[in-house]
Structure 1
Amino acid sequence: MKNKVVLITGGSSGIGLAIGTFLSQKGYTVYGTSRNPEKNKDFSAFKLLELDVCDRQSIVSATAQLQQLEGRIDILINNAGVGITGPIEETPEEEVQKAFDTNLHGPLAMIQAVLPIMRQQGSGLIINITSIAGYMGLPYRAYYSASKGALELMTEALRMELKDFNIQCTSVAPGDFATNIAAGRYHAPVSEQSPYRDAYSNTLRLMDQHVDAGQDPVRVAEKVYRVIQTKRPKVHYRVGSPLQKFSLVLKSILPDKLYERLLINHYKL
């Protein structure tokens, strides 16, 4: 069925925009979300709803609006997310809370909002966009890794809870892709007095280089499309460079300390 209704959080840029555009071209009825659609008046790739994943009332209003417009919500793609970097010791608590609100609590609130709708219509698909970073604790990205890793585990649990309702759930974990995530990422300040100054500064430069050299986000869109076409999606999907995907294989087979040493060498720590 090509005219399924798709709701994509954070759909006005980056991976969300790529997914929405690709699915629209495939014939899906796509609605993205933006905290302030007024800033996207010239946006024409697909329709945008006003929604802030950190605001429960905003979520309730937007999902109710979409159900009124289309009568159903077939696919939820939890894409909205925010980057955060910094030493664990020095990252402000309020910024940590914001990251978890966007990357974890927001997607869970979206799921809670659409599940009654999907259960009533007798079908649905939830795709959580996580990150390959969520499979490992990365230096100076601990809070990002933790929030995305938590969403991966929530996906596993949710699949089992939904098995009797004909509602599918899976995650798609991208690696580094050429998007504007680096520009919107929160960076804990690099303090001249910080004992982490040099190591953190070097890691920041490496992270930005990886994003700048990242692949086209349309690859994530293609993966999401294939997942939608799959009758029984797998628990997890990963999309990224061969090296990024191979790093997950290494993590599963190498002793912890050896894998830790590989990361230390990779980040030149």
Structure 2
Amino acid sequence: MSKVVLVTGASSGIGKSIATYLHEKGYKVFGTSRNPKNTENFSFQMIALDVLKVETIETAVAFIIKKEGRLDVLINNAGMGITGPIEDTPTDEMRAVFNTNLFGAIDVMKAVLPQMRLQKHGMILNVTSIAGYMGLPFRGLYSATKGALELVTESISMEVKSFGINVVNIAPGDFATNIAAGRYHTPIFENSAYKENYRANLDLMDSHVNGGMNPLEMAKAVYDVINTKKPNIHYKVGGFMEKFSIVLKRVLPDKMYQKILMNHYKL
């Protein structure tokens, strides 16, 4: 019997690649977006879900359970990016990205867990980021949201293990998607003390995304995790240097690691 999979944020980018690939592999896939329009050519079914509105999460999950009788896998992918010097970034925008990337993901988990407990099995994959393992200049808030979700996943994975449910993180590096267009960019204020460095780093961040890996690689990694009987807690998907940067942070003195990052970002 084909597994039933819910993929949030599946209208484009990594989410769409994951949902399409799993559908091709024979899974019953439901993708979500806030406004699932112009999706009639998608190979999988799209339904409405806004991670900021709990009622839409509950409605979407109830629809899937009523239609299929179960829910085997949640790919918690919906999220947003944010850039900017912390001093210049509006605090309301900081709260918005935490509400989406952290609390939104938690609310989706809370909605699917009762069904997974009932059926005594299930898997939740939280899509985080390699950026969540380190504080990056002008991406501090994004790193913080993804790092927080990594830790929440560690906690909840222990809480639900006895119910037959596995909860794991899968952290991508830079992938060639439209995330740069959809993220919140703090404006480059003319009177900002960070104007020149921030402008240069915006160009650098966009070039990283444009030159990133094919999202299909992320989809293949998700497929492999789903089919692992005893999955790990953390998975990283990215280039060698992206993954190696996590190792360096563990072994190098703080100031040395910070200097490497500052050299990379020309600070």
Structures share fold, TM-score greater than 0.5: yes
1:191-242 deviation per Cα after TM superposition (whole angstroms, max 9, x unaligned)? 1110000111111110000000001000000100000010011010000001
When normalised by structure 2's length, the TM-score is 0.99
Alignment of structure 1 residues 86-97 onto 2, 5 Å: 86-97=84-95
Q: Which residue of 2 aligns with 1:215?
A: 213
Aligned-residue Cα RMSD (Å) equals 0.8
1:34-63 deviation per Cα after TM superposition (whole angstroms, max 9, x unaligned)? 1011x2243322100100001011111111
Q: Partners of 2:41 and 2:173 in 1: how far apart?
A: 27
Cα offset, 1:90, TM superposition: 1.1
Alignment of structure 1 residues 1-269 onto 2, 5 Å: 3-37=2-36, 39-269=37-267
AA aligned opposite 1:149: G
SS where residue 40 of structure 1 aligns? coil
Consecutive unaligned residues of structure 2, counting only runs of 5 or more, are none
Q: Partners of 1:172 and 1:27 in 2: how far apart?
A: 22
Q: Partners of 1:49 and 1:41 in 2: how far apart?
A: 10
Consecutive unaligned residues of structure 1, counting only runs of 5 or more, are none
AA aligned opposite 2:230: R
SS where residue 162 of structure 2 aligns? coil
1:128-161 deviation per Cα after TM superposition (whole angstroms, max 9, x unaligned)? 0000000000001011000000000001001110
Paired positions, count:
267
Q: Partners of 2:227 and 2:42 in 1: how far apart?
A: 25
* Identical-pair percentage: 57
SS where residue 52 of structure 2 aligns? coil
When normalised by structure 1's length, the TM-score is 0.98
1:70-94 deviation per Cα after TM superposition (whole angstroms, max 9, x unaligned)? 1111000000010000111111122
SS where residue 161 of structure 2 aligns? coil
Q: Partners of 2:163 and 2:153 in 1: how far apart?
A: 15
